[in-house]
Amino acid sequence: MHSSVLTTVLLMLGLSLPAQSLAQSSQPAPEIPARRLVLNSLLVTRINPLGMELQTRGGYQARLFRDQRPLFRDNFLFVGAYPKLSPAGLKVGPVVEFQPLSIFNLRLSAEYVGFFSTSGFLQSYPSPNAEASDTAREVGKDGGQNYAASGARIALEPFVQMKMGPVVVRNRFALEYWRMGLRDEDRVWYDATLDTLVPGKGFTYADDLDVLFLGLPPLVVGARYSWVKPRYSSRQLAADETSTVDNSHHRVGLLAAYVFYDEGYTAFNKPAVILNVSWYLQHRFRTGADVNRAMPYLLLGFAFQSDLLDG
């Protein structure tokens, strides 16, 4: 979950699949309501880097057309909000999702991003070449280098998925533009969700690729590959610098969820425990420079879905 991913940071495992697919029911799937008031919630805690976040996706969802064929069945237009709250800060703003086919979703979101000056955040630096390891940021926190700040994030996220028998392959790419109000002459800042130095004004790219096996209900198990890359320009360089170090990273590992039940479009449905354990293939600080490369990225979460309208 990217992530946004988680972003993100951070994704809600299984909630984007058509109804009852997680349960592998032999019965025909129920017809998707023409209009829905949807609430998806995900609470996660994370290690390496350390963090906690509550994500909520809520809004109005309308079916575009009626078609029970698998390729076309799960189509909709969603308009709502996607707030994210952590001990360090808040992200909130409107989101629009367009899904013309069951296999393709396009999300556009704009967020206000605010940090409370807690938990060691926000810390910023004059250059992408700055030391932003866990140790360096802990020293910065002890020295009072964290401060309250705010800004904006705009993201375009195409998502594709394919189901072949009990196997699902899905991919979410995120193109994110950031505009943060940093102090003094600082040009980059550390974001824990992306786990890298993000340009104060500029772009980041992120991608999550999942391969999931649905043949062991109520367990979903598979693998996730995650990639994050900040894009720096000459405006992020200090006066005496001509190039930047590589602050992108790659990790791969286990992605699993236990879905307690799926009862369709109800007020509380698809409660699930989610686990992601990954190891860094490349990271400036997490492959031996500051953190032992044997230490995994560990994410544990709880998610559920609610439908608050009748048909």
Mean pLDDT in consecutive groups of 10 residues from the start of the chain, 311 residues: 33 38 52 92 95 95 94 95 95 97 96 95 95 96 96 97 92 97 94 96 96 91 96 84 89 94 89 95 96 95 90 55
State whether residue 16 is helix, strand or coil: coil
Residue 7 lies in a domain: no
Residue 1 within a domain: no
Question: How many helices (H) and strands (E) are present in the chain, helices listed first?
Answer: 2, 17
Domain membership of residue 9 (yes or no) is: no
Give bridge partners of residue 205 from the DSSP assignment. Answer: 175, 229
- Rounded CA-CA distance 7/10 in Å is 4
Range of the domain at 148: 35-307
Q: Look at residue 98 and tell me if it is in a domain.
A: yes
Contacts of 8 (CB under 8 A, 6+ apart): 1, 2, 174, 193, 194, 206
User: Does residue 109 lie in a domain region?
Assistant: yes
> Strand, coil or helix: what is 126?
coil
Q: Which helix (H) or strand (E) holds 135?
A: helix 134-142
Name the pTM for this structure.
0.89
How many angstroms separate the Cα of 271 from the Cα of each of 42, 259, 275, 278?
10, 6, 14, 23
128 CB contacts (<8 Å, ≥6 apart)? 187, 188, 197, 199, 230, 232, 236, 237, 244, 245, 247
CATH number where 174 lies: 2.40.160.40
Nearest to 245 by CA among 131, 110, 112: 131
Cα four-point dihedral sign 263, 268, 270, 273: negative
CA–CA separation, 227 and 212 (whole Å): 18
Question: What value does the CA radius of gyration of the chain take, rounded to a whole number of Å?
Answer: 20
Is 285 within a domain?
Answer: yes
Is 3 part of any domain?
no
Q: How many CB atoms lie within 10 A of CB 19?
A: 20
Residue 201: count other Cβ atoms within 10 Å of its Cβ.
16
Q: Is residue 114 part of a domain?
A: yes
CB atoms within 10 A of CB 37: 15
Q: In terms of Cα–Cα distance, which of 97, 96, 189 is closest to 151?
A: 189
Pairing of strands 76-81, 51-62: antiparallel
pLDDT of residue 27: 59
Q: For residue 85, what are the β-bridge partners?
A: 54, 90
pLDDT of 21 reads 41
Tokens of 170: 């899905």
Sign of the torsion formed by the C-alpha atoms of 125, 129, 130 and 133? positive
Domains in the chain: how many in total?
1
